[in-house]
Amino acid sequence: MNIHTDRRSILGGLLASPVLSMAPTAGKQKSRGGLSTLTDLDFGCAVQARHVLVDQGLRETILKECDTITPELELKWDFVESDKGQLNLAPAQQLAQIVTDAGKKLHGHALVWHKSTPAWAIEAILDQREWSIVTNFFDAIMPPFSKAIDSWDVVNEPIETGHGEDGLRNSFLMRAFGADYIERAFVDARARASRADLYLNEFGLLDAQSYSSAKRAATLRLLERLVSRGVPIDGLGIQGHLDLKRGPIDQQGVSNFVQKVADLGLKIRISELDVREASPDIPQTNRDQEVANAVAALLDVVLPFDNLTGITCWGISDRYSWLPPLSITAGLNRGLPLDSDLRQKPMYWVLENALRQRKPSKSSDRV
Ligand code: G3I
């Protein structure tokens, strides 16, 4: 078994959560050197370039806290080429400059995603069934960022159970190219990024509900097929969009799933971690603790696995979360590590303790 500790000992439920029990309680805020200095596990967050460019506090915070920054929008096809042939690379390039000047990296998100394909490309693909329409985008976006980006989400959210072939989403990509589009995307990404880590990135893999176990099964079938065919895939991004309305995650199911992914020789990364709150009427301290508890429950499951390469939050400050406000009276959703004034919250401390539990520190001078 490719893990540090006996998983059974960490699956005793939330109250037994090692990450949570080590985290300081609310009000006892710690200030340290940032999450990026703690271990060899990669920590990161998603940001929009326009926010980083105008908000100096945000800029300094991400460079202190993160090893890897994910452009939330700026590498998506509909952002880069909303009109055919008119490339808008400047925002991603500005972000890449800031990040690489600080010795950090970008994570590329996302090469093939049905939702971020511009309308003109969907129409052309369905009409002509020409794979080169897709690889033209790869050619536009991959070479300019070859120094800044060392990992890519190659195919995003291809699974949708309930219909279609092997639980694959019945997207325009399936209709135009069949299930092979996934394999082709990885082969053609590898041809343009020989050393980058190439990920498939999927959501809905964590919950206790049956749709989620069906998604885990379909994802495993796809990964097994890709690996058995020698497709150049390095790992799975497990999106961590937690939702308190959906109840606790299925710790045992997720642990079994991650073990099977590891057995295939693949890495995992927790991508897109954030928490959608559900209780507008309880005190803020309790709200923040609920968020931290949910994150701890996930980290307790994945941290012991050696094939875990990193954790990326989908945003770092509640001010810039894609999630809507919790309610008019409760204000912003508080599902990210820092509040709207960039102050640390219990979710931050849970992450800090999780990272400390991992491998030896990268930095000898941490407090
Ligand atoms: O920037 C325009 C603005 O000029 C315009 O006035 C406004 C009107 O709606 O739209 C703005 O763009 C929006 C953009 O977010 C910036 O806020 C887009 O419409 C909107 O579609 C876009 O949503 C993003 C979404 O992906 C689609 O790209 C979210 O910010 C982003 O958080 C979300 O991220 C996805 C991951 O890529 C994949 N996994 C799920 C995750 C959450 O949905």
**Which ligand 1 atom is at minimum distance from the Cα of 73?**
28
Using DSSP, state whether 214 is helix, strand or coil: helix
| Mean pLDDT of the 30-45 span | 81
Q: Which of 70, 72, 206 for mutating ligand 1's site (highest number of atoms within 8 Å of CB)? A: 72
Q: Is a pLDDT exceeding 70 seen at residue 24?
A: no
Gyration radius of the chain's alpha carbons: 20
Q: Is a pLDDT exceeding 90 seen at residue 3?
A: no
Ligand 1 centroid–CA 72 distance in Å is 8
Ramachandran region, residue 183 (left: φ > 0; alpha: ψ -120 to 50; beta: rest): alpha
Ligand 1 centroid–CA 11 distance in Å is 35
| Mean pLDDT of the 79-105 span | 98
Q: Which of 45, 53, 54, 73 for mutating ligand 1's site (highest number of atoms within 8 Å of CB)? A: 73
| One-letter amino acid for residue 33 of the chain | G
Q: Is a pLDDT exceeding 60 seen at residue 256?
A: yes
Task: Centre a 10 Å sphere on the Cβ of residue 94 and count the other Cβ atoms it contains.
Answer: 15
Q: Tell me the sheet residues that pair with 334.
A: none
Peptide bond into 110 cis (omega under 30): yes
Concerning whether 272 is annotated as a catalytic residue, the answer is: yes
Concerning whether 65 is annotated as a catalytic residue, the answer is: no
Q: What is the pLDDT of residue 173?
A: 97
With bands split at pLDDT 50, 70 and 90, how would you rate the model's confidence at 319?
very high
Which residue's CA is minimally distant from atom 22 of ligand 1?
73
Longest dimension (CA), the chain: 60
Ramachandran region, residue 272 (left: φ > 0; alpha: ψ -120 to 50; beta: rest): left
pTM: 0.93
Catalytic residue from among 74, 157, 160, 183 = 157
DSSP of 248-263, one letter per residue?
A: SB-HHHHHHHHHHHHH
**Which ligand 1 atom is at minimum distance from the Cα of 315?**
32
| Mean pLDDT of the 211-222 span | 97
Ramachandran region, residue 316 (left: φ > 0; alpha: ψ -120 to 50; beta: rest): alpha
CA 112 – CA 192 distance, rounded (Å): 14
Ligand 1 centroid–CA 112 distance in Å is 16
Q: What is the pLDDT of residue 166?
A: 86
Catalytic residue from among 272, 277, 290, 352 = 272
**Phi and psi (nearest 5°) for 279?**
-125, 85
CA distances from 75 to 82, 110, 138, 153 (A): 12, 7, 10, 11
Q: Which of 113, 322, 323 for mutating ligand 1's site (highest number of atoms within 8 Å of CB)? A: 322
Residue 44, CA atoms < 13 Å, CB-side half-sphere: 26
Task: Please list every protein residue whose CB sits less than 6 Å from any atom of ligand 1.
Answer: 72-73, 76, 116, 156, 203, 239, 272, 322
Q: Is a pLDDT exceeding 60 seen at residue 348?
A: yes
